[in-house]
């Protein structure tokens, strides 16, 4: 997406361009899922997020709620409840 991220112990320093660029990304946990959704909504272009089942475990139909406040977001495939199943994607 264009950002440069430096991680040191429990701190992440993000130094990125003023505009993020849409990309295909993969969520690794709940916090990553939520962060990637927000970054994707702020990015220029389209962002596809694989493995959004993490966010589905806490936020029911998040894409519907975000659409309600004006987000350009859609679920491309239905979510799965297990990481052992095929991955799903949310596109922004």
The torsion angle over the Cα atoms of residues 5, 8, 9 and 10, rounded to 10 degrees, is: -40
Q: What DSSP element (H or E) covers 39?
A: helix 30-42
| pTM exceeding the 0.75 threshold for the entire prediction | no
The Cα 12–Cα 59 span in angstroms is 25
**Start-to-end C-alpha separation, the chain:** 13
The tokens of 78 are what?
A: 């239905």
Q: What are the pLDDT digits (tens) for 25-48?
A: 999 999 989 999 999 999 999 999
In terms of CATH architecture, what is 4-91?
Alpha-beta prism (3.65)
Domain ranges of the chain: 4-91
pLDDT tens-place values along the chain, 92 residues long: 888 889 998 898 888 767 889 999 999 999 989 999 999 999 999 999 998 888 888 988 899 999 999 999 998 875 555 444 444 555 66
Q: What DSSP element (H or E) covers 48?
A: strand 48-50
């Amino acid at each position: 997406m264009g950002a440069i991220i430096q991680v040191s112990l429990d701190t992440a320093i993000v130094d990125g361009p003023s505009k993020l660029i849409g990309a295909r990304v993969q969520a690794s946990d709940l916090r990553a899922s939520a962060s990637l959704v927000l970054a994707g909504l702020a990015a220029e272009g389209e962002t596809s997020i694989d493995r959004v089942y993490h966010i589905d475990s806490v936020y029911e139909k998040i894409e519907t709620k975000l659409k309600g406040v004006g987000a350009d977001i859609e679920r491309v495939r239905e979510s799965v409840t297990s990481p052992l199943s095929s991955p799903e994607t949310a596109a922004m």
